[in-house]
Amino acid sequence: MTKMKIAVAGASGRMGRMLIEAIVNADDAELAGALDLPGTPGIGSDAASFLGKPAGVAIDSDLSRALASSQFLIDFTRPEGTLKHLAYCAENGIKMIIGTTGFDEAGKAAIAEAARRTAIVFAPNMSVGVNVTMKLLEMAAKSFSEGYDIEIIEAHHRYKVDAPSGTALKMGEVIAGALGRKLDDVAVYAREGVTGERDPSSIGFATIRGGDIVGDHTVLFAGIGERVEITHKSSSRVTYAHGSMRAARFLAGRETGLYDMQDVLGLR
């Protein structure tokens, strides 16, 4: 069996370690590179030493060295870092699995452009459960298109730097699309003071940050006399790692193109 040669960006972080563990434990993959910022304490150490079974791959801050033997890069870092990695991967034909959130429109356009030269799975949440939930939300929105108010409530740990979460925004986009709307036209991100009655066409967002919450998302469809709540709760980042491995396997047979987890899971 030819194994997928996968590198991990942010290799010293919590998500990076989850990804490394998933790769090391997969029969069809091997850790080929580990990338992190200059000055990170782990630079130069074996990327899998925390598992008690070294992989023979040192964490490196040099992009070309870290990716020299890699076919794939899994990146859950920050937009500015991911975009630097993206340019290198597109130039060198390295496929990417991007779980980074917080991109502006220019960043998203850069990803789409890079996908003309290499294959990319770009999703704000790699969890299989979250992406099945997205499909359920699409179905629910079509049925609750009249007489129901839609609110999205998300909660994450105290260290998360963007809000609302990329997953919450994607949920909003899926719901708005199912209703024939654009999220930018109907989203309400904050309420304070005398706001007046709720616009029935709006999609509201509420953000909670605290403690070590991995990620909770609830979409509320509130009608008169009843309400329906669709909730997904993550108790471990391991679900993102397992979804990323499925994304890598999906890309193995593709040279170019921009995909998301709905494509990976055959939910289109």
**In which residue ranges of the chain is pLDDT below 50?**
none
Query: Which pLDDT does position 68 carry in this prediction?
Result: 96
Query: Which pLDDT does position 73 carry in this prediction?
Result: 98
187-223: per-residue pLDDT in tens? 999 999 999 999 999 999 999 999 999 999 999 999 9
Tell me the C-alpha to C-alpha distance, in Å, between residue 26 and each of 49, 77, 83, 119.
17, 22, 27, 21
What sign does the CA torsion over 14, 17, 23, 25 have?
A: negative
CA gap 123, 186 in Å, rounded: 22
Query: Which pLDDT does position 48 carry in this prediction?
Result: 97
Walk me through the domains of the chain, giving residue ranges and CATH numbers.
Answer: 4-122+237-264 (3.40.50.720), 128-234 (3.30.360.10)
What sign does the CA torsion over 6, 7, 9, 14 have?
A: positive
CA gap 61, 44 in Å, rounded: 9
Q: Strand (E) positions, 23-113?
A: 29-35, 59-60, 72-75, 95-98
CA gap 8, 77 in Å, rounded: 10
CA gap 149, 74 in Å, rounded: 37
CA gap 243, 267 in Å, rounded: 14
| pTM metric for this prediction | 0.85
CA gap 185, 203 in Å, rounded: 9
SS3 assignment for 85-149: HHHHHHHHCCEEEECCCCCCHHHHHHHHHHCCCCEEEECCCCCHHHHHHHHHHHHHHHHCCCCCE
Q: Contact, 90 vs 63, CB < 8 A?
A: no
Report the catalytic residues: 156, 160
Query: Which pLDDT does position 237 carry in this prediction?
Result: 87
> Both tokens of residue 230?
């669709």
Residue with tokens 């904050």: 190
Query: Which pLDDT does position 1 carry in this prediction?
Result: 73
Query: Which pLDDT does position 268 carry in this prediction?
Result: 80
Q: Contact, 40 vs 12, CB < 8 A?
A: yes
